[in-house]
Amino acid sequence: MKKIILSAIVFVGAMTLNAQDEAPKLSISGTVDVYGTTNTVDGTGTPGLLIANPEKANGFGLGMANTVFSYDGAKSGVVADLAFGPRADDANMAGAINQLYAYYNLSEKVTITAGQFNTFLGYEVISPAANFNYSVSYLFNAGPFSHTGVKLDYAASEDLSFLLAVTNGHAISSSDANESGATQFGAQVGYKGQYLNFIYGAVDVPAAPTDAIFVDYTGGFDLSDSFYVGINAAYAYSDDAESGYQGAALYLENTFSDTFALGLRPEFFSLTSADDSQDVLAFTLTGSAQLDDNLKLITELRYDSSDDYIIEGIAAEKNATALTIAAVYSF
């Protein structure tokens, strides 16, 4: 699912500067988003807005300006995905770079990619144009956002695909020396739009990493011509740190017309340790109105509840409701 969405952001709506099909093509696409938000608690904060300081989110705010440059040839190409703004600050690993990679098609079925690329785990991505909801889930915020390394994609058939990856550990960016050689190994099996993902390896501090395992299922089904159900379930744990997380989210979306859709995202998320857990429930009701070919207006009502006080950005409360209206422009 995430793989398909990311490809669409890079290539759909692109401006082709060379009209010859057999020649390399330069494409430019991107998004800009802004929002207004308010909550029902005594103070600021809106969970899931994916800003560097979610506890300060209130009133009007900026999301990010995202521009993707893609140069695609018959056998190889490069992608430079640049993102600026509070929404990008949480996810970028190297300055303004969201993604920067080169790829080579070894055959019609096998592609090798090297550089920094968005994670293959999970249902949601950083770009608000690619997600149905404007705020992101706890599962998405748990990370990882991106990886730096090498991956190999193999399309065995139209329905079956495989991925293998060797990357740096989580959160090791261009400013880190990675003195320990912290490494992760990843794999994915995809079948008819359902994806089972695995990662094992180093996380946290580059100089003294701990190992963890991540298991993630992402998929979805069309129950009718207008109603879609997406699913994301994940488990992560480190024996070294004796901590991890687990959770699940549903994405219930109904398309009423070419210009309006309504969706509900119920989510359960739990931070786990050797002898304890801290839980949160979140329900996000989202209306998405396509005003024209480029501009989308998203209205979102979100309710978070946690007896363990782990609501993102509003840690002092057990319950919080936030209303957010966002404008997302894609080109």
Concatenate the DSSP letters of all residues of 261-278 into one string.
Answer: EEEEEEEEEEEEESS-EE
Compute φ and ψ for 220, nearest 5 degrees: 175, 165
Please report the pLDDT score of residue 95 as a whole number: 87
Alpha-carbon span 225 to 257, nearest angstrom:
11
Please report the pLDDT score of residue 29 as a whole number: 96
Beta carbons of 151 and 113 less than 8 angstroms apart: yes
Q: How many Cα atoms are found within 13 Å in the side-chain-facing hemisphere of 298? A: 28
- What does the mean pLDDT of the chain come to? 90
Instruction: Indicate if the pLDDT at residue 81 is higher than 90.
Output: yes
Positive/negative CA dihedral, 4, 265, 132, 150: negative
| Number of domains comprising the chain | 1
Please report the pLDDT score of residue 50 as a whole number: 87
pLDDT in tens, 112-161: 999 999 999 999 999 999 999 999 999 999 989 999 999 999 999 999 99
Question: Which CATH number characterizes residue 59's domain?
Answer: 2.40.160.10
Give the end-to-end CA distance of the chain in Å, rounded to a whole number. Answer: 22
User: Of 47, 32, 145, 148, nearest to 84 (Cα)?
Assistant: 32
Share of the chain above pLDDT 70, in %: 90
Peptide bond into 54 cis (omega under 30): no
Q: How many Cα atoms are found within 13 Å in the side-chain-facing hemisphere of 14? A: 20
Question: What's the one-letter identity of residue 144?
Answer: P
Domain span at residue 99 reads 2-330
pTM strictly above 0.75: yes
